[in-house]
Structure 1
Amino acid sequence: MTTVVKIGGARAVDPEGALADVASLVEDGEDVVLTHGGSTAVDETLEELGQEPTYVETPGGVVGRFTDEETMDVFKMVMPGKLNTDLVESLQNEGVDAVGLSGTDGKLLEGKRKSAVRVKEDGKKKIKRGDHSGKIESVNADLLETVLAGGYTPVVSVPMLGEEKSGGYTAVNADADRAAAAIAGALEADLVVLTDVSGIYEDPDDESTKIDSASTPEEFEAVEDAAEGFMTKKVMAATEALEGGASSVIVASANADAPITSALAGEGTTLQPGVLDDETTQEATR
């Protein structure tokens, strides 16, 4: 069984424990695909260059980055550049033969480019043009399986390869949680989403209200109701992962001891394929 691990890019996430845990799993003969975020690093780099990060709210209430051409240049520099290289370097120092891949390599992550997005500003729905983003529609699982079969550990970063309406391709932004979800679905793997909290809480301000697991649509409804802010996207990604064929999704703390191993052993919030009903599946494919 393969495990896909997504390390969050929030400032409060320390990847050191997760990387050591990847090394332990690989040493035990497990296949691991590591993916990562990096929004904080992208924002900091933009600010250093005198640019202001732009975030927009969709009509559905989801907040995400608006990626114009200048932001995309910074995104390509930071995500598959510095952050991915740093993680590969750290894994090599842990004794892991890691290989850095971006979603553009070998058409690893591919889909249609969205040159415009629907947003809500001042209570009004608008179309904002000039976006460099896309939704992942296919994953080159053969590439990942070939790398794994060769004894290497893939470290995957967005951007993805966006297909233009006029033909051809452009590297475009994609949400890192949803990229990890697409990979986990394609590999029929367990997905461990490591973040700066220990799971999904019924009360976002109270860790003691952590939801341990959900395996029915009714239990998953409670998870969706509890998710707020950044956790909304993680629950959306979990839905897509399970709908795509993932064995399970666990949202857990990156800062715990042996965070991946403990997540797979039941720490965090575990979501099982049984949470999907017909309505949930329809939402996941939109």
Structure 2
Amino acid sequence: MASLVEQGEQVVVVHGGSTKVDETLERLGIDPEYVETPSGVVGRFTDETTMEVFEMAFGHLNTRLVAGLQSEGVDAVGLNGVDGKLLYGPRKSAVRVVEDGKKKIKRGDHSGTIKQVNGDLLESLLSDGYTPVAAPPMAGSEARSASEGSSGDEPREQVIPVNTDADRSAAAIAGELDATLVLLTDVEGVYEDPDDPATLIESVETSEEWAALEAAAEGFMGRKIMAAEEALSGGAPEVVVADANADTPILSALDGDGTHVQASAVQEADQ
């Protein structure tokens, strides 16, 4: 990535850290809780304690990543989604889950849905020569009553850090900046047969190819494709799903490796 910046390219880095969160929870003796949504997606339930660990783990990773980039000559600046309301939207304090085959409402969640991206903040940093390094949590908005410190009878907004998906954060930022999105993962891209790397889907340009891509994406790859759709619908011209283990993963992805999805594929599918 440093070589891209040296060539004058403007780059925004967005990172996750679920593994680090799980490791930190284990060290603290806290068992993570996973829930299944009615659509079949399994994810971590972020209660108040888990949210504190989340902030700790992501802050540590962000600092280390910024230091590493600075060591390579990149003038990196670390941000989370709360800074300047970079990633902003309503908090979801309750989620729909499936337990023992029954649909239930589970309360106490600290997660949110991104509705706005502070593109001006990122553009200002980029124009001044900085490389933003961003990560969750996001700025979650919820109403509070007058008795909780607001003046008058109208409820005032309260902003709290809440969890959000890193890939979807990257998608929201790419859409806001009309930028190409590179999603790195632990395989070479999306495979027609998830167990056979020889079936790599290299290019997706039409609605038919998009439908085939969605059908092929299973498990964690389904989340990548969901993020890809959000980025392309939001303004990104292209999304590349590529191998994080390549010698130069970002350069390799931009040079043609991985699965390249064009905005035209999603636009046709939406018509």
- Per the shorter chain, which TM-score range? over 0.9
Q: Residue in 1 aligned with 2:263?
A: 273
Which deviations, in whole Å up to 9, do the C-alpha atoms of 1:226-249 show, x marking residues without a partner? Answer: 111111111000000001001110
2:30 paired residue among 51, 54, 67: 51
Q: Partner of 1:191 in structure 2?
A: 181
Alignment-mate amino acid for residue 64 of structure 2: D
Normalised by the length of structure 2, the TM-score is 0.93
Q: Does 1:30 align with 2:9?
A: yes
Q: In structure 2, what is the equivalent of residue 165 of structure 1?
A: 143
The corresponding residue for 2:66 is: 88
1:244 is aligned, of 226, 229, 234, to 234
* RMSD over aligned Cα atoms: 1.2
State whether residues 62 and 233 of structure 1, in contact with CA within 8 Å, keep that contact through their aligned partners in structure 2: no
Question: SS at 2:39's partner residue?
Answer: coil
Whole-angstrom distance in 1 between the partners of 2:96 and 2:268: 26
Higher mean Cα deviation, 180-189 or 248-257? 248-257
Kindly indicate whether the alpha-carbon contact (under 8 Å) linking 1:33 and 1:153 is maintained by their aligned counterparts in 2.
yes
The runs of 4+ residues in structure 1 deviating greater than 3 Å are: 277-281
- Which residue in 1 is equivalent to 2:39? 60
**CA deviation after TM superposition for structure 1 residue 263, in Å:** 0.7
Among 164, 170, 176, the residue aligned to 1:180: 170
Q: CA deviation at 1:277?
A: 4.5
Identity within the alignment, %: 66
Q: Is 1:143 equivalent to 2:133 in the alignment?
A: no
SS of residue in 2 equivalent to 1:158: strand
Partner of 2:224: 234
The structural deviation recorded for 1:278 is 7.2
Per-residue deviation, residues 221-279 of structure 1 (Å, max 9, x unmatched): 11111111111111000000001001110000011121111111211001111111576
Q: Could you say if the C-alpha distance between residues 268 and 279 of structure 1 is closer, same or farther in structure 2, counting changes exceeding 3 Å?
A: closer
Q: Which one-letter code corresponds to 1:91 in the other structure?
A: L
Q: Which residue of 2 aligns with 1:17?
A: none
| Structure 1 pair 130–108 and aligned structure 2 pair: CA distance change class (3 A) | same
Aligned to 2:149: none
Cα shift readout 1:75-133 (whole Å, capped 9, x = no counterpart): 00111x11000100100111101000000001100000000011122222111110000
Q: Would the aligned equivalents of 1:99 and 1:153 in 2 still touch at CA under 8 Å?
A: yes
Deviations 1:114-171 (A, max 9, x none): 0001112222211111000001000000000000111110000100000013321111
User: Of 240, 259, 263, which aligns to 2:253?
Assistant: 263
The structure whose RCO (Cα within 8 Å, separation 6+) is larger is 1
Alignment correspondent of 2:76:
98
Tell me what 1:10 maps to: none
3-state SS of paired residue (2:57):
helix
1:111-150 aligned at under 5 Å gives the runs 111-150=89-128
- Report the number of matched residues: 259
Q: Give yes or no for contact 1:199–1:269 (8 Å, CA) kept in 2.
A: yes
Equivalent-residue separation in structure 2 for 1:158 and 1:277 (angstroms): 28
Q: Which runs of 5+ in 1 are unaligned?
A: 1-21, 282-286
Deviations 1:180-234 (A, max 9, x none): 0000000000000011111001111111111101111110111111111111111
TM-score normalized with structure 1 length:
0.88
Contact 2:110 2:162 survives alignment (8 Å): yes
Which has the greater radius of gyration? 2
In structure 2, the gaps of 5 or more residues are 145-156
